Structure 1
């Protein structure tokens, strides 16, 4: 983050307008104005993203929902501020958006319906705590966390009150049903 300290004092909040000025060679996320550097993912991380993306994309062919894999900007405005003033932009590993009005050339503006994050040692806490709270507050209907090394997953579902209940835990074996798409079952055999 040293290049950012030269641009602004540490106490200032960054916005999407700032983010768009940063080097394309570096990947960042902003959460409530705080910048988080993104590290290069591991091979197993990329294998899981690619395979899940393939299964989801195949299922959604001809349906109104669209899947996207990182890098793909998801802007999460607090109210109706213009893009340049948004202080939260994330790059989930996989995002599924069912409202075409949220999609534009920059990515997605508003909450995806389904987000999947593949856990890495450097991002696990952020994904399990900070992003879970963020996605809950913005109304992401289904949030999956996948641990590709220990072979487990965790699913959070948004309840009628707008909160995530107790997560459902599962092993990455056989198949796992997707709550918002009951006909879709993710097959984990590619990990064996």
Structure 2
């Protein structure tokens, strides 16, 4: 049986839970954004290497590294999960508050989020997701541009991201909200060379 969304409906996590398991999407302010069936290998290699480095560095620590697909619900204040109209799946994230983790994924803002840009998701990651991560208190938001080999970093200060820092993907870059943790870009060079159609 075919599944169809209504164009003018405001969707919530309650709706999301009724959809087929193989339907990959995100909800941002009640609007559904369909995701590609699965990212291509180069995208997964970049996200996977970032996750590996951070997960290894966090062994034995309170903070936990997680990788997509994993639902992050961003309810407003004390809003019930089912009423939340924001459900996203960041490529890589770190959550330092264990109370935000449950069997469904993450409820509340991760401390650090990384999105690996691809042509089909770049505008959403740079505009809509940046706005909601800022609004919900993600402390540090990284946008990795594998094709251009550029990293854009937003840091939350006084409730706003402000002007981002922009770096070339070379050497290493420290994660400000995770002391003593840096991403080594040299380890990603083989994957960056395989960037066609990221």
Bin for the TM-score computed over the shorter chain: over 0.9
1:3 maps to what in 2? Answer: 3
Count matched residues.
187
Q: Secondary structure at the match of 2:3?
A: helix
Q: Residue 29 of structure 2: which of 23, 29, 32 is its match?
A: 32
1:5-154 map, 5 Å? 5=5, 9-39=6-36, 40-154=38-152
Q: Secondary structure at the match of 1:140?
A: coil
Does structure 2 retain, via aligned residues, the 8 Å contact 1:72–1:107? yes
2:192 maps to what in 1? Answer: none
- CA–CA separation in structure 1 for the residues paired with 2:187 and 2:44: 13
Higher relative contact order (CA 8 A, sep 6+): 2
Q: Secondary structure at the match of 1:4?
A: coil
Q: Secondary structure at the match of 1:131?
A: helix
Does structure 1 retain, via aligned residues, the 8 Å contact 2:26–2:34? yes
Residues 163-184 of structure 1, C-alpha deviations (whole Å, 9 max, x = no match) = 0021010111111111112311
Residues 49-97 of structure 1, C-alpha deviations (whole Å, 9 max, x = no match) = 1100000001111110001100010000012122111110000001110
Runs of 4+ in 1 over 3 A off after TM superposition: none
- CA–CA separation in structure 1 for the residues paired with 2:10 and 2:161: 28
Q: CA RMSD in A?
A: 1.1
- CA–CA separation in structure 1 for the residues paired with 2:44 and 2:7: 32
> TM-score, normalization: structure 2?
0.91
2:180 maps to what in 1? Answer: 183
1:137-176 map, 5 Å? 137-159=135-157, 161-176=158-173
> TM-score, normalization: structure 1?
0.94
> Where in structure 2 are there 5+ consecutive unaligned residues?
190-198
Does structure 2 retain, via aligned residues, the 8 Å contact 1:44–1:148? no
Q: Secondary structure at the match of 1:95?
A: strand
Displacement of 1:4 in angstroms is 2.8
- CA–CA separation in structure 2 for the residues paired with 1:140 and 1:149: 25
Q: Which moved more, 1:94-103 or 1:77-86?
A: 77-86
- CA–CA separation in structure 2 for the residues paired with 1:80 and 1:173: 42
Residues 93-120 of structure 1, C-alpha deviations (whole Å, 9 max, x = no match) = 0111001111100001100000000000
